[in-house]
Amino acid sequence: MASHPVGNSNHHLLRMENVGKVFQMGEVAVEALRNVTLEVRDGEFLVMVGPSGSGKTTILNLIGGLDGVSSGRLWFRDRDLTAFTPGELTRYRRDTVGFVFQFYNLVPNLTAYENVLVSTELSREPMDPLEALRLVELDERLDHFPSQMSGGEQQRVSIARAIAKNPALLLCDEPTGALDFETGKRVLRLLLDLNERLGKTVLLITHNSAIAQVADRVVRLRSGQVVEVHDNPRPLPPEEVVW
């Protein structure tokens, strides 16, 4: 099946060209992505939807420089990520990308504040960690360890950690997946605010189609392929989304 070429390449932040990814699991090769071509535009809120195993996380990992492609090309602005050395990839992750993980991936023996600090210490133009935590309304819980916080709070720390280093691109892997409905909506609101107020490009992946209603653009994936891309002229505010 052919994938849909999308968007207007003049404003793209990121572009995937015929990207394939194969995982070697022992003696079995699993094809996670097949011929994916896709663009991410500067400043947009893009949601990628698909059932589990559709290749969402793989795409996110490739875009984030956490993993390498098996075939195809991947461009960030005019730079070819697939040609990056490990050192260049590290710098790319350090300066350009912010990650928000489904299970937060906080360092368990660091406090909320220190978990943000872990990222700002690396960065060239970081936010004040306190400011980042204030943005996620957690400035009262600076000294709490992850185990002393709820899932929603942990996810907000994870978001604060991602935005604190001022990345151009925020990659969110099922950020509401482990959260209850109300908390999930708060997290979505936060991400939208960051997109609107700070102008961050947000790429969010989810298996939950309802969330796609808040996006500027939606990409649907199935079995490692892009099956649909559409613009959403009237995104809903998260408060009105129901799932």
Q: Which residues would be at the binding site for another protein (CB under 8 A)? A: 25, 58, 61, 64, 66-68, 86-87, 90-95, 97, 99, 101, 103, 105, 107-110, 114, 117-119, 121-123, 161, 165
Shortest distance, position 240 Cβ to another protein, whole Å? 31
Residue 58 or 213: which CB sits closer to another protein?
Answer: 58
Residue 183 or 209: which CB sits closer to another protein?
Answer: 183
Residue 66 or 236: which CB sits closer to another protein?
Answer: 66
Measured CA angle at 89 (ends 112, 94), to 5 deg: 30
Measured CA angle at 73 (ends 71, 79), to 5 deg: 150
Shortest distance, position 171 Cβ to another protein, whole Å? 9
Strand order in the sheet with 217-222: 97-100, 169-173, 201-206, 45-49, 217-222, 225-231
Q: Name the DSSP letter for residue 233.
A: S
Residue 6 or 100: which CB sits closer to another protein?
Answer: 100
Shortest distance, position 48 Cβ to another protein, whole Å? 16
CB count in 10 Å sphere of residue 150: 11
Residues 6+ apart with CB under 8 A from 90: none
Shortest distance, position 236 Cβ to another protein, whole Å? 30
Residue 67 or 131: which CB sits closer to another protein?
Answer: 67
Shortest distance, position 138 Cβ to another protein, whole Å? 17
The separation between CA 122 and the C-alpha centre of its own chain, rounded to angstroms, equals 19
Strands 169-173 and 97-100: parallel
